[in-house]
Amino acid sequence: MVDSVASAIRDAAARLASASDTPRLDAELLMAHALGISRETMLLRHIADPEPPGFASLVARRARHEPLAYITGHRDFWTITLDVRPGVLIPRPDSETLIEAAVAHFGAAGPRRILDLGTGSGALLLAALAEWPSATGVGVDRSDVALAVTGANADRLGLGQRTALRKGDWGVGIDEAFDLVLCNPPYIEQAAPLPPDVADFEPAEALFAGADGLDDYRRLAPQLPRLIARGGMAAVEIGADQAEAVRDIFANHALMMKVEKDLAGRDRCIVATH
């Protein structure tokens, strides 16, 4: 006898309890993905339907700690939904702090030109372009996979005509000054322990930055002053305990700085201006 959606979700949540901090939510999202509908629609209209084929295999993948976003192929960020895949960092809600800082700085008028260094899935750049319809932007990444994912996301969101992509190493070779510079660099110490969802699946080059996690800030610091236009700003993500260290690195490069906190009250973003 085929289980109902409700009973299959219940059983899956129990199985995922050891692999996830949110087992019930994960089970519901996997079920909605298997059904090809939204979670809300599933809960309202399809909870008594029979379990769909393929649901058990999705649960098995999550039980092996594969990130939910890689299984479903998408992740919500700010006001947009991004396609994600192995090889690109999964966008986190903490990174929305950078967009919040930009909104506070520019207001509704917004920036004219945006640069996203280490664009990954395109989360920061495309969220900013969606926020300000008159802006155009450039996304830079060393990874061909990341650039392909960003380009596909830009086209799917109707932002392709306002998005230019460049393979590169941070700001090296860029001779334009931008109103808004966004950057979520790697900032994890090389020896730091990570949960298997991250360590075993997400790209190491997007996570680790040397023995102290600060290598990429040292590379970015001398580049930022020439990349930020007068009246503009850079928003750079930091680890929760890195504000003082990153400020010290940036302090020698004629930048004024302030720290913005995420919704949990943790230091999350350095805002740099001239």
Q: Which residues contact 119 (CB under 8 A, 6 or more apart)?
A: 125, 139, 140, 141, 146, 147, 150, 165
Kindly report the CATH number assigned to the domain that includes residue 100: 3.40.50.150
Query: Measured between alpha carbons, how far is 93 from 109 in angstroms, rounded to an integer?
Result: 24
Same domain, 110 and 218: yes
Measure Cα distances from 258 to 125, 223, 250, 271 in Å: 21, 18, 11, 5
Same domain, 103 and 131: yes
The answer as to whether 14 is a domain residue is yes
Same domain, 261 and 154: yes
The answer as to whether 208 is a domain residue is yes
Same domain, 266 and 142: yes
Same domain, 138 and 56: no
Single residue among 20, 39, 64 that ends a domain in this structure:
64
Per-residue pLDDT of the chain (274 residues; tens, 9 = 90+): 679 999 999 999 999 999 999 999 999 999 999 999 999 999 999 999 999 999 999 999 999 999 999 999 999 999 999 999 999 999 999 999 999 999 999 999 999 999 999 999 999 999 999 999 999 999 999 999 999 999 999 999 999 999 999 999 999 999 999 999 999 999 999 999 999 999 999 999 999 999 999 999 999 999 999 999 999 999 999 999 999 999 999 998 989 999 999 999 999 999 999 9
pLDDT of residue 2: 74
Same domain, 80 and 18: no
The answer as to whether 268 is a domain residue is yes
Same domain, 195 and 268: yes
pLDDT of residue 1: 65
Q: Which residues contact 183 (CB under 8 A, 6 or more apart)?
A: 116, 117, 118, 124, 170, 220, 234, 235, 236, 237
Q: Which of left, alpha, beta for 234 (phi over 0: left; psi -120 to 50: alpha)?
A: beta
The answer as to whether 84 is a domain residue is yes
**Which domain covers residue 109, as residue numbers?**
75-273
Same domain, 51 and 174: no
pLDDT of residue 118: 98
The answer as to whether 136 is a domain residue is yes
pLDDT of residue 29: 98
* 3-state per-residue secondary structure call for the chain: CCCEHHHHHHHHHHHHCCCCCCHHHHHHHHHHHHHCCCHHHHHHHCCCCECCCCHHHHHHHHHCCCCHHHHHCEEEECCEEEECCCCCCCCCHHHHHHHHHHHHHHCCCCCCEEEEECCCCCHHHHHHHHHCCCCEEEEEECCHHHHHHHHHHHHHCCCHHHEEEEECCCCCCCCCCEEEEEECCCCECCCCCCCHHHHCCCCHHHCECCCCCCHHHHHHCCCHHHHEEEEEEEEEECCCCCHHHHHHHHHHHCCEEEEEECCCCCEEEEEEEC
Domain count, the chain: 2
Same domain, 17 and 104: no
Q: Which of 137, 181, 174 is nearest to 159 (CA)?
A: 137
Kindly report the CATH number assigned to the domain that includes residue 50: 1.10.8.10
Same domain, 29 and 152: no
Give the HSE-up count for residue 107: Cα atoms under 13 Å, Cβ half-sphere: 1
Same domain, 55 and 84: no
pTM for this model (two decimals):
0.96
pLDDT of residue 62: 98
Angle at 107 between CA 103 and CA 108, to 5 degrees: 110
Same domain, 239 and 162: yes
The answer as to whether 69 is a domain residue is no
The answer as to whether 175 is a domain residue is yes
The answer as to whether 70 is a domain residue is no
φ, ψ (nearest 5 deg) of residue 164:
-115, 140
Burial 82-112 (b: 16+ CB within 10 A, else e): bbbbebbbbbeebbbbbbbbbeebbeeebbb
